[in-house]
Chains A and B, each alone.
Chain A
Amino acid sequence: MTKTKSKLIAGTRNLNPGDKNLLLAFFSIAVLALALGIVFATMTAAGRTGLFGIESATAYRMLGLHGVTIFFYWLYFVQAGFVLLLAAVYTEGAGEVALRPLAWLGFVTMLAGMVSSESSYFGGTILLYDGNPSLLIDDPSEGRFFYLGYVLLSAGLAMVATCAIATAVRPKFRGVIESWTPISFAAVAWSGLLLVAAVAGANAFLPPLFWTLGLRESVAGYAMSWSVLFHNMHYLPLMATVVLWYVLMENVTGMQSVFGPKFSKIVFAIYMIFVPPTSLYHMFLEPDLAEAVRVVGSLLSLFIAVPTILVFVVIVASLESYARAQGGRGLFGWIKLLPWRNPVMAAVGMAAVNMALGGVFSMVLIQERLAVLLSDTFYVPGYFHFLTVGGISLTFIAALIYVIPSLTGHRCWRPAVLARLPYILTIGLGLFGAGGIAAGYHGVPRRIFELAYHVDDPVEHIDAPFVWGTMMGVIGAGSLLMAAVLAIYVYALLRMLFSQNREIGVDVASLYVVSWSGSAATRERAWVGPLSILAMVAAMYGFTALSFEILQRVPILVGAAGH
């Protein structure tokens, strides 16, 4: 075992107690939100698959709570913590969080937002996480706490992002450093995107909040402002994930990008430069949109995958050339040299696999013509859980495994167990995703709990197809595995937060790593990254073609509407 000289661990340990408490506050609430979100997920899955009896109304409440708690509060509390941490630890000459009182205010505001959002589910009308205000036409006042929650979350995020930027900028202003490391540069770009999302959030949720308070007559344009926000929200956790891959791989192998720091900065800058402007294309998503605008929109959404792919190629190629310098041989043989026994390595490795799977299926759906086959079906949650659970959440959990013990001084709970969980999670996701995607192709809708569609009247009666039930069964099995794995992770994180666990724990600095620093074999080939991308693109072709073929076989011809 090699004792790591990890910058992440050492830098985190060196933070002052005040900063540590701040970060622990964000991470504790993040873990709480994850735990709640998993409970709601399990109930939702139970409702969908008939695992145990649950009424439709309760199931909708669970679905709404699942989406809100896990997609908004887990993902943004954990991002807030990491953006502050990376800015403080990776900006040379920073060493501490700037404007800490403002960061605390951001924390309290976000927490108040979470309480408000969750409590809105005790009311009558059930909004799902997208908060469509038209569902409140009978009694707008029932949506007050829902929108208030999101407004507070946006405000809190803006404060946190400001602190992270200040943390990275201050040493430059003071002349302590000349330039940022790629990671602090990334933290600034990420904070910039967070600010954009916060503004988009305020823009989307303030009008309905005022409407539910009786201060406004109506809410115009919610669909569009939600889309603009949602677009930015897609890329935020995605960018956070690839930044953390970079950080974590450096920590478990000692590698640096063989493409150099400047290239990494350019890649991170692409997110900042392209993501907010492309959100504008949602403004043109009106029904009678000209063909040309649709095409440009679709091409842009293809382009937006490019920075994520670039980071993947950079990391894999760097790992490969370092591993070759250590004697790694064969096209794939070098992969065995990676420290897979380390729970963080295993998690990041599987996160990359899941991200690739999710990426393939998301690229099918961006073709507008296929919406008539797949939009609003279970295809959508089927593919995006690969991204949100297997890619993004797994990466955040991996980073927490290093960071929480470094903040608390506690040990890492049972690393040997944790190193196996990513594989089980991936199997669960495989079932959930395969079942969900197949269900989507068969027309199973998302957000439906009574699939039987039974009525007594013989003329009106029509059975839902038998296969629908079968596919929901597969989804149910996958859900159980996913929930079990995530529950163990939550338990482990809670132990690391609150318990010394001396006997079964390991010092995080002694987790198994390899130390490859300063020794890349840049003369040698690094094909695995490019080949994986080629395989992914081939799979995108395959599933896109399959979707068009199925679409053409639907026995409904849609013609011009005679005008």
Chain B
Amino acid sequence: MAEAAKPESRHFTLRPGFAVFVGLFVLTLYFLWAAYGAAPTSLSFLAEESAGPAPVTPMAGMDVQSASVENMAQDGGGAMTPDEFEEITLKFVEDLSLPDGSVQPTREWTEAMEAARGDGAQEEMDAAGPADAEEPIDVYLMAMRFSYEPRVLRLDRNVPYRFRMMSMDVNHGASIRAGFAGHIMRRPAMVLTEMVMTFSERGEFMIYCTVYCGAGHDQMKGKIIVE
């Protein structure tokens, strides 16, 4: 029997310890992640405050009931019901539509809306951010079976936009094809998500649904024109 061979007579590549060593090699991938800033290099992450939008996670967001109150609060947009969201999105489209049907968000509109709301809370939160950062312009994007509203957005290059997005019925995606890759985003149902995005290149970018949402899923798309 092979096992009968005395350990000393074995080549080291045939010892269990070496096999385990080789097996653990895959863990070194962590160093590469750290080099790209995708993994903490010290325990400092314990003190780090979470910043930025939540990354899209492979399995998250397939839930009927994800519209919990906690979720909405955590998503930072303040609690907003789907009805309120629909109302403001329709106003956004009505106020800012151009003759060709595309919608061009403006800073004036964003400020007027903030003033109208008397939104102290919003300003307080803004003040907490870096003071020199340019204040983003609001964009509303509503996803529903099987279209987006507005369908065509006209944005300026190198200007930050605060996308406020909600799926009105089931989970959808609102991915943007830019450069030669996709920027994949999931939008769980009835949850308001906010994300500030700045487009650094001119062009026409496709918005497309990347979460299967029913029979018309593959007709669900929109467009962002960056000028």
Contacts and interface: CB of A to CB of B under 8 A. Distances in A.
Interface of A: 56-57, 60, 125-126, 128, 130, 132-135, 137, 218-224, 226-227, 230, 256-261, 263, 282, 285-292, 295, 298-299, 302-303, 305-307, 309-310, 313-314, 317-318, 321, 363, 365, 367-369, 371-377, 441-451, 453, 457, 459-460, 462, 464-465, 467, 518, 520, 522-527, 529-530, 533-534, 536-537, 540-541, 544-545, 548, 550-551, 553-563
B117 interface: no
Contacts, number: 337
Given A313-B22, A375-B58, A548-B36, A560 B13 contact: no
22 contacts: A125-B215, A128-B212, A137-B170, A222-B62, A299-B27, A310-B20, A368-B38, A369-B36, A372-B184, A373-B183, A375-B57, A376-B210, A448-B208, A450-B219, A457-B101, A460-B101, A548-B38, A556-B198, A557-B198, A559-B160, A562-B135, A563-B126
A291 B197 CA distance: 21
B2 A371 contact: no
Contacts of B59: 223, 226-227, 230, 282, 285
A563 B125 contact: yes
Given A223-B60, A445-B208, A556-B198, 5 more contacts: A286-B71, A443-B184, A525-B13, A561-B196, A562-B129
Contacts of A545: 32, 36
B118 interface: no
Nearest to B61: A223
Contact of A556 (B19, B48, B52, B176): B176
Contact of A134 (B32, B128, B171, B184): B171
* 8 closest cross-chain pairs (CB), A and B: A443-B182, A223-B63, A287-B54, A555-B201, A134-B64, A376-B210, A223-B62, A520-B2
A221 B63 contact: yes
B131 interface: no
B74 A287 contact: yes
Nearest to B128: A563
B185 A60 contact: no
B45 A310 contact: no
With most chain B CB atoms within 10 A of its CB, the pick from A130, A134, A295, A441 is A134
Interface in B190-222: 193-201, 204, 206, 208-215, 217-219, 221-222
B101 A459 contact: yes
A443 B177 contact: yes
A555 B199 contact: yes
B189 interface: yes
A258 B183 contact: no
B55 interface: yes
B46 interface: yes
A133 B54 contact: no
Given A286-B60, A522-B5, A556-B183, A448 B199 contact: no
Nearest to A220: B65
Contacts of B184: 371-377, 443
A530 B212 contact: no
A57 to B, nearest CB: 6
Contacts of A128: 212
A365 B63 CA distance: 22
B152 interface: yes
B10 A376 contact: no
Contacts of B175: 376, 443, 445
B33 interface: yes
A310 B151 contact: no
Contacts of B160: 559
B116 interface: no
B29 A302 contact: yes
Interface in B14-62: 14-16, 18-20, 22-30, 32-33, 36, 38-40, 45-46, 48, 50-62
Nearest to A305: B26
B102 interface: yes
Contacts of A369: 33, 36, 38, 55
With most chain A CB atoms within 10 A of its CB, the pick from B55, B75, B102 is B55
B75 to A, nearest CB: 7
A310 B28 CA distance: 16
